[in-house]
Amino acid sequence: MENNTADLTALLRAKAQQAGQIVESFAPEAEGFQKTVIEAMRYSLLSGGKRIRPVLMSETFSFLLKDGCGENAQEAVQGCAEMLKPFMAAIEMIHTYSLIHDDLPALDNDDYRRGRLTSHKVFGEDMAILAGDALLNYAFETAARAFDLAKDEEELRRASRAMKILAEKPGIYGMIGGQTADVEMTGRALDKEMLEFIFENKTGALIEASMMIGAVLAGASEEELAGVHDAASCIGMAFQIADDILDVTGDEKNLGKPVHSDERNEKTTWVSLYGLDKAREDAEAYSLKAVRILKEMRPEKEGSFLEDLVIYLAGRDR
């Protein structure tokens, strides 16, 4: 079991590195009169995050592909795999912009992130605001490159559907909606409904986007897409509960950010509402539900890396 975990960690690290290289290949070069803002974008984007969202995207893509397709189908898969790359980079850009803005003095006022000074501490508040804006905007600029790769109407439809998801999930009916509630509710006691809304949107929406875009580009049916949405929603819950647990039990050096910040900021968390034991149980239950949904969709892919990854995320130590 310990061996398996070590193997999985190594495999995850390799996949994260691959995803990181794809993200980097789409990062703009710091030059011209706009050099400073691009430096700030690169500083946060290429700071070695876990790359969980792009990895989930590409793994969902691979997971949903049907085995044993003919030569033509292989070519189509190749085309869609190419379209996947700009979307992998785009989702990481959106995730990164949200961290830069979240860390600003007017919001969470954090000085450290991933073990390094936050953007506004290095580049000043004005440049950090612009760098966040720039990353959000550049995410769509990057994703739009998929249109140039689309060879026929079907691929164009998949790319535009993926673009639609990329635009919807991080917005007011997704991530920003969750952030808004989170900002307004800091320092107030939350009930379960409110906390779930924040988890589902602030954290869950980007995970849903990642997996749904992978599914759309793999040519998933509407029914399959709905299944992927439900699985991703459970993964988002498990992931955020694990985050709350880590804020209590985690190691500051390993996490690259201060622990016990929720307590200091008087934030209601899954742990503060239900206690540590129940939080651990819930994280596991959500991830098992996600795995069950995925298994039902592709029983022949039993024991896939995606399933292992889902289980791992719920019990991770960083």
Interface with its own copies (CB under 8 A): 28, 32-34, 36-38, 41, 97, 101, 104, 106-107, 124-127, 129-130, 132-134, 136-138, 140-141, 143-144, 147, 150, 152-153, 156-157, 159-161, 163-164, 166-168, 170-173, 176-177, 179-181, 183-184, 194, 197
Q: Least Å distance between CB 81 and its own copies?
A: 19
Q: Provide CB contacts within 8 A for 145, sequence distance 6+.
A: 86
Q: Least Å distance between CB 155 and its own copies?
A: 10
d(CA 317, CA 267): 21
Q: Least Å distance between CB 305 and its own copies?
A: 31
Q: Least Å distance between CB 111 and its own copies?
A: 16
d(CA 303, CA 311): 11
Cβ proximity to its own copies: between 269 and 287 the closer is 269
d(CA 123, CA 44): 11
Cβ proximity to its own copies: between 125 and 266 the closer is 125
Name the nearest CA neighbour of 124 among 32, 24, 39, 31: 39
Cβ proximity to its own copies: between 101 and 298 the closer is 101
Q: Least Å distance between CB 171 and its own copies?
A: 4
Cβ proximity to its own copies: between 97 and 270 the closer is 97
Residues 262 and 244 sit within 8 Å (Cβ to Cβ): yes
Name the nearest CA neighbour of 318 among 261, 251, 269, 272: 251
Q: Provide CB contacts within 8 A for 137, sequence distance 6+.
A: none
Cβ proximity to its own copies: between 140 and 305 the closer is 140
